[in-house]
Amino acid sequence: MMLEKKNIVIIGGTTGIGLSAAKAFIANGAKVVVVGRNADSAEAAKKELGKNAVALSADAANENTAIQAIDICINNFGGFDGLYHVAGGSGRKMGDGPLHELTLDGWNKTMELNLTSIMLSNQAAVRKFLELSAGSSEKVTGTILNMGSVLGFSPSPTYFSTHAYAASKAAIIGFTKSIAAYYAPNNIRINVIAPALVETPMAQRAAKDETIQAFIKTKQPLDGGRIGVPEDLDGMALYCMSDLSKFTTGQCFVVDGGWSVSEGQNSSHS
């Protein structure tokens, strides 16, 4: 039971990667609070996760959301040990795209969706860890895991050309390393997990495109060449949220099926 007696908040935990992690955390002894924007998804997640979970509907880009979730975690389960921030997404429909087509609104909305939300949740978690440490005679530790993307450092121009998204995901890595360095003396460890293409509600454009699927078979060649599934990230998330990672901070863990070390074959450049 890697997470026995751990109480964890998952921002973006009612669908996809976050929901899969919540199941894995609970199976390994944790109690979780999951947060998602969609009320129906939150209700469904609560039913699926059972008595060791609380689910709520809220916007990750609201400055009160993570604060509320952490307070609920403490009030319901008696403590707060870790934050896993999964929430984010594509700003394509809001105007993100190649730089010459990128709109200012698309840029701002994408940054809010991916970067501002992480800043707010990490800030709330760090503040609570510091508060708990100040009020305890015992050594208080805390862990934060943020969601990056291979597109933050390994671009794919033919099929994945949302430049604001790439910038926000690259910024998450820099942000995480900077705060990990600052708070390491406080025994707060902060890391990033960077996946490639994973089957989630956000990834449906790519997942349903036969040309992109053929590309992914060569770009993510592990396990027969396939799109990832949320469960592929659970092992790394478990490590980062558990005491096994007590000597690990400021790292970007790439779980990408080989994306970042594979050329990938495509037939055209649109």
**Domain definitions of the chain by residue range:** 7-255
Q: Can you give the pLDDT at residue 207?
A: 77
pLDDT at 269 over 70: no
226-234 average pLDDT score: 97
pLDDT at 228 over 80: yes
Confidence of residue 257 (pLDDT cuts 50, 70, 90): very high
pLDDT at 86 over 50: yes
Task: Please provide the DSSP assignment of 90-130 as one string.
Answer: --GGGT-SSTTT--HHHHHHHHIIIIIHHHHHHHHHHHHHH
Q: Can you give the pLDDT at residue 268?
A: 57
25-45 average pLDDT score: 97
250-264 average pLDDT score: 97
Domain 7-255, CATH number (from 3.40.640.10, 3.90.550.10, 3.40.50.920, 3.40.50.720): 3.40.50.720
Q: Can you give the pLDDT at residue 140?
A: 77
The model's pTM is 0.95
228-254 average pLDDT score: 98
Task: Indicate the pairing of strand 142-147 with strand 31-36.
Answer: unpaired
Q: Can you give the pLDDT at residue 32?
A: 98
Q: Can you give the pLDDT at residue 135?
A: 76
How many Cα neighbours within 13 Å face the side chain of 49? 32
Q: CB under 8 Å to 115, separation ≥6 — which residues?
A: 168, 171, 172, 175
94-116 average pLDDT score: 98
39-53 average pLDDT score: 97
59-75 average pLDDT score: 98
Confidence of residue 208 (pLDDT cuts 50, 70, 90): confident
Using one digit for the tens of pLDDT, what is the confidence trace for 142-172? Answer: 999 999 999 999 999 999 999 999 999 999 9
DSSP 179: H
The two structure tokens encoding residue 124 = 């709330």
Per cent of the chain over pLDDT 90 is 90
Q: Can you give the pLDDT at residue 267?
A: 67
Q: Can you give the pLDDT at residue 116?
A: 98
Q: Can you give the pLDDT at residue 270?
A: 45
123-140 average pLDDT score: 89
Q: Tell me what the pLDDT averaged over the chain comes to.
A: 95
pLDDT at 138 over 90: no
Q: Where is pLDDT greater, at 55 or 267?
A: 55
pLDDT at 37 over 70: yes
Cα R_g (the chain), whole angstroms: 18
Under a CB-based contact definition with an 8 Å cutoff, are residues 195 and 203 in contact? no
Q: Can you give the pLDDT at residue 204?
A: 78
Tell me how far CA of residue 7 lies from CA of 22, 129, 167, 168, 184, in angstroms: 11, 13, 32, 28, 21
3-state SS assignment for residue 221 = coil
46-69 average pLDDT score: 97
